[in-house]
A and B are shown apart, each in its own frame.
Chain A
Amino acid sequence: MSAKILVCDDEQEILDITQMILEDAGFEVTAVIDSLKVEKLIEEQKPDILLIDLWMPGMSGDQVIKSLRLNIKINHTPIVVISASRDGKEIALAAGADDFLEKPYDIDILIDTVKKNLSKPLSA
């Protein structure tokens, strides 16, 4: 069974291309534009990994991550932040993300990063 990925970004075109690339690589992808819905979707769909942007209206990526990390039911989900801000790496890792990928990303690196974080031993 292929791994399930949840992608959250406030830009539709980013969501579209990320979904296409990952589906082409054989993953099952759910895309969400509203960061406020991320936590509920994870609870419902139990994706194997979350890819999330940082700067978003409503709830910023790091706020979402902090909240998820406090949610015992789902706090083991690997999280990769994908942001156009180079300084975002520190913010992402400090909030509890497992990895960081800078936009514009290279598709091979995107796929490798997803695979690498899927195979990581689950964080407690």
Chain B
Amino acid sequence: MRDSQDQLPNPSHSESRLFEAALDASSNGVVITDNLLPDQPIIYCNRAFEQLTGYDRDEIIGHNCRFLQSGDRDQDARSEIREAIENGKNCQVEIRNYKKNGEMIWNELMISPVTNNEGQITHFIGIQNDVSRRKAAETELAKEKEYLEERVVERTRDLELSEAYQASIIETIRESLVVLDKEMKVLSVNEHFCKFFKLKSKEIIGQVLFSIGDNGQWDIPELKDLLLKILPHNNPFEGFELENEFPRIGRKLLVLNARQVMLKGKYQERILLAIEDITERREIEQRKEDFISIASHEMKTPLTSIKGNIQLLERKAQRNNDSEYMVGFTKAAKSIERLERLIDDLLDVSKIQSGKIEFHFTDFQFDDLVTEAVSGVQAATQTHKLNITGSSNTEIAGDYGRLEQVLINLLNNAVKYSPSADEVKIHISRVSDYVKVAITDSGVGIHQRDHKRIFERFYRAEQITEKFPGVGIGLYVSSQIIKEHKGTLWVESEEGKGSVFNFTIPIKKK
């Protein structure tokens, strides 16, 4: 220490102590190198420098500063320092230094030359500052920034992709799509819309929907009703049927789904309109109905012949008391009856589908209808006893024949699906403004999932298809008939425990 101090410029002894104390109080590391000695050794360091590097002054004094970089010699900062020293200039660099324990620190180093009276550079003073934390924060920040930039690029690409993807979905759909603003102006349409209606998108975009095309082809009262009256209260609205004559494409039957966007923001209140053309489908359905209708009619001719011949033979066998043939004729008569019912049901389905079924309403006592239907079915049933309880004592308005058909269907089902039982219960009641019938069997029952579906056309519950023959139209026809009477038909059932089929019919208002 004394030696090194001796080499410092020549202050008085007490001043020198003061300088030393001041330097030791600094939190910056300070070193002085001798530029006149070979390899510019360090001739002074303060306490902060010791703390900064982890070396004792004994290990520092006499060394060239390069030991601080340890093996990390290939730094740009080093050449900057070298240049400054060679040219006797100030310089400020950030350089990686290594503490005695090997830990890297970022050193913000300032170097200033000290010149003597002859202009000779005698010393360099180095001021060191540990900026590792700041550097780390900077690096972290730079990384974060880089990461964020990457994410932005990625998200943008994702969005572009997703937009392109969604647009391609919309363009691929074989259904017309229109987007409207709340004033019913067309904002966009998909390609199918233009193709289908034979319109160019420039003819449409920006126009009020009802005014597009030529001759007001889109000025359709039903469409206005849907968008202006129905949609505001029923959003979204699905399955709106519309038939209209379009000049470029002719008469079309369309099904519309409309939805007003409720999300807050850019898209709020926009209206999405999907248009499906069902013209052809309806025609095919119609042809199918016609086919069923004609086929059923044609089946009746041979059936008439079979039925007549069987009944005639039965009559003759009866006259001759020929009991052997009688059994066969009775069986044949039953099959014929079943075939007749099937054909009738098929015809009914086709008529219901095309809305051509006719109902002839008259007034009658509801209990009489039930009693007559039950005794009719009882006459043909040996295996089960049909027991009626309750009564309504009420007159209703309905189609007697059709309601009888429903009852016969439900009673026959109750018998058919309870092969090991011997009773079917029928309960008549009056509930509020309705008459009600409940037909209870203790048969195979119906799984919960099928309670609604069994009333669909051609639907048959899974567990019965193998064991019981049938085509799945009886309940469909029945439910349609009850619906026509403004009543409801439903089932309560548990698999394995039997079923209760109920229907209600509103009582005639006096």
- Residues of A whose CB lies within 8 Å of any CB of B are 11, 13-14, 16-18, 20-21, 24, 55, 84-87, 103-108
Contact = CB atoms under 8 A, between A and B. Distances in A.
Interface in B306-341: 306-309, 311-312, 315-316, 336, 340
17 contacts: A13-B305, A14-B301, A14-B305, A17-B304, A17-B312, A21-B308, A21-B311, A24-B312, A86-B347, A104-B300, A104-B303, A104-B307, A105-B304, A105-B308, A106-B311, A107-B312, A108-B311
Q: Sorted from nearest, which 10 A-B pairs have the closest CB atoms?
A: A84-B300, A17-B308, A104-B304, A13-B305, A104-B307, A107-B311, A103-B304, A104-B303, A17-B305, A103-B300
A10 B301 CA distance: 10
A21 B305 CA distance: 11
A21 B310 CA distance: 11
B336 A104 contact: yes
Given A17-B312, A21-B308, A103 B358 contact: no
Interface residues of B, number: 19
Given A103-B300, A104-B300, A16 B305 contact: yes
Contacts of A18: 308
Contacts, number: 54
Interface in B271-323: 297, 300-309, 311-312, 315-316
Contacts of B302: 13
A51 B142 CA distance: 103
B422 to A, nearest CB: 30
B interface: dominant SS: helix
B304 A14 contact: yes
B359 to A, nearest CB: 12
Interface of B: 297, 300-309, 311-312, 315-316, 336, 340, 347, 358
B358 to A, nearest CB: 7
Given A17-B308, A21-B308, A107 B301 contact: no
A87 B347 CA distance: 11
A106 B303 CA distance: 11
A87 B311 CA distance: 25
A84 B336 CA distance: 15
B358 A21 contact: no
B193 to A, nearest CB: 42
A11 B303 CA distance: 12
Contact of A104 (B316, B340, B358): B340
Contacts of B305: 13-14, 16-17
A14 to B, nearest CB: 6
Candidate in B304, B309, B312 with the most chain A CB atoms within 10 angstroms:
B304
Contacts of B358: 87
Contacts of A85: 297
Candidate in A16, A17, A21, A106 with the most chain B CB atoms within 10 angstroms:
A17
Contacts of B315: 24, 107
Contacts of A16: 305
Contacts of B297: 55, 84-85
